[in-house]
Amino acid sequence: MTERVFLDYAATAPLLPQVRELLESNSVYKLGNPSTLYSEGRQARQALEQARSSLAGVVSCAAHDLYFCSGGTEAAGTLVEGIARGALEKSGKKTARMHIVCAAFEHPAVLQSVLSLKRLGYEISLLRSGKDGRIAPERLEAALRADTLMVVIMLAQNELGTVQDIACLTRLAHGVGAFFVCDCVQGLTKLPIVLTNLAVDAAFFSSHKIGGPFGIGAFYLRPSVPFLPRQLGGGQEQKLRSGTQNVPGALGFALAAELETARMQRGEQNRQGFLRDNLLKQLTQESSRIRATVSIARTNTSTHLPGHLHVLVQDIESQTMILKLDEMGFAVSGGAACSSNTLEPSHVLTSMGVSRDDAYGALRVSLGGSTSPDDCDRFATALLSLLEVSH
Ligand code: PLP
């Protein structure tokens, strides 16, 4: 039997073998509660702080500005709501900045959190991207107001793979005194993330997207930003996120971040970019029904994630393709993992002006460290043969 080919790293990257080994080791099993005073607890605290320092090294920020939580979704809600509530409390509602700008293509974890702030009286401006899947600085500039509290725009778009110029967008937000919150879930270890250069006020990351364990993530928050914690309790994580920390998870997350960063530094970006470019070429040359959703400048990681390909396929629905390809041994997605159970076209595609008909044929292929040239060739052959049959 031929091996299955996994091409949905943007949904979840398979656990790295070294991380699995660590999680199964005795040293992790023996850890106590990091808030306790005896030696098992102190060892756990030490391990937790080592994980924090190592992750802070990967994203270039101070370790004490990084907080562990359960993942990207929790981090998004915690930051967006925490900053909005914190600012409201600080202002005593007299001089409240009551406006938020958010990219229309944000992940639902962010979008729903932002939209829920209407309840608190916030006015929300949703910013559409251009056909290139990127937010033009002029669009943000036009949306900013004197009372804009925060701007929320992600680093790398999870369906399209497009990368935003966050440093530039942050400068514009800061120009009117607004805070900048950045979802870095898809960018972590695929792009060099230097938080000090990006100058964002808050950012967040998720472990399972980079080959770390599920159920662990982290957020960065600049200390001067007003913030009210959402999860109250024992005051862990400097009172910003209560709850006993997932120490094995944090260790696995930090190890995955280090390993994947080292892999990137050894030229993995170029390798994946090359595979992705070849795959796109093969698909579009051999079928006129397939086109790239956004044009991709060859292996340019400042505008596009290296191993990420999003295409629109004519006259066939995403779900049909995904299920048929699954039967043929390939795991790919129609866009975001969490919306792949719905029959509605992706909000990301419709917000950038893709017609509903075209959006129904969306397919996302995301490569990772174990993807080989043969995997890509076999996938291309499978998709092309499927399209021949379906015509
Ligand atoms: N943000 C982006 C860009 C994502 O791709 C995801 C995962 O799909 C999330 C946030 C949510 O992260 P998690 O799965 O850790 O809750």
Pairing of the two strands 5-6 and 330-331: parallel
pLDDT in tens, 97-152: 899 999 999 999 999 999 999 998 999 999 999 999 999 999 999 999 999 999 99
For ligand 1, atom 14: residue with the closest CA: 72
Average pLDDT rounded to a whole number, residues 33-39:
97
207 lines ligand 1 (CB under 6 A): no
Q: Give the Cα-Cα-Cα angle 363, 365, 370 (nearest 5 degrees).
A: 160
Atom from ligand 1 closest to the CA of residue 336: 8
Contact between 369 and 260 under an 8 Å Cβ cutoff? The reply is yes
For ligand 1, atom 9: residue with the closest CA: 72
Number of Cβ atoms within 10 Å of the Cβ of 91: 14
Q: In the predicted model, is pLDDT for residue 385 greater than 60?
A: yes
Backbone φ and ψ for 219, nearest 5 degrees, come out as -125, 150
Task: Kindly tell me the sign of the dihedral angle through the C-alpha atoms of 196, 198, 202, 207.
Answer: negative
Q: In the predicted model, is pLDDT for residue 65 greater than 90?
A: yes
Ligand 1 center–CA 72 separation, angstroms:
5
Q: Is 168 a catalytic residue?
A: no
Least confident residue range of 106-120, 212-226, 283-297, 329-343: 329-343
pLDDT band at 339 (very low <50, low <70, confident <90, very high): low
Residues 6 or more apart whose Cβ sits within 8 Å of residue 151: 100, 101, 102, 140, 144, 169, 170, 172, 173, 178, 179, 180, 181
pLDDT in tens, 186-210: 999 999 999 999 999 999 999 999 9
pLDDT band at 67 (very low <50, low <70, confident <90, very high): very high
337 lines ligand 1 (CB under 6 A): yes
217 lines ligand 1 (CB under 6 A): yes
State in Å, rounded, how far the first CA of the chain is from the last one.
28
Q: 12, 153, 206: which to mutate for ligand 1, most atoms within 8 A of CB?
A: 206
pLDDT in tens, 237-283: 999 999 999 999 999 999 999 999 999 999 999 999 999 999 999 99
Active-site residue, selected from the candidate residues 61, 69, 182, 338: 338
Ligand 1 center–CA 208 separation, angstroms:
9
- Count CA atoms within 13 Å of residue 22 on its CB side: 21
Contact between 179 and 149 under an 8 Å Cβ cutoff? The reply is yes
Least confident residue range of 264-273, 294-303, 331-340, 369-378: 331-340
Atom from ligand 1 closest to the CA of residue 338: 8
For ligand 1, atom 8: residue with the closest CA: 11
Name the one residue in this structure whose structure tokens are 């669009």. 139
Would you call 142 exposed, middle or buried from its count of C-beta atoms within 10 A (0-12, 13-18, 19+)?
exposed
- Among 98, 212, 111, 218, which Cα is nearest to 154's? 111
For ligand 1, atom 13: residue with the closest CA: 72
Ligand 1 center–CA 71 separation, angstroms:
8
Ligand 1 center–CA 91 separation, angstroms:
31
Contact between 193 and 238 under an 8 Å Cβ cutoff? The reply is no
Q: 9, 186, 253: which to mutate for ligand 1, most atoms within 8 A of CB?
A: 186
* d(C-alpha 246, C-alpha 75), whole Å: 15
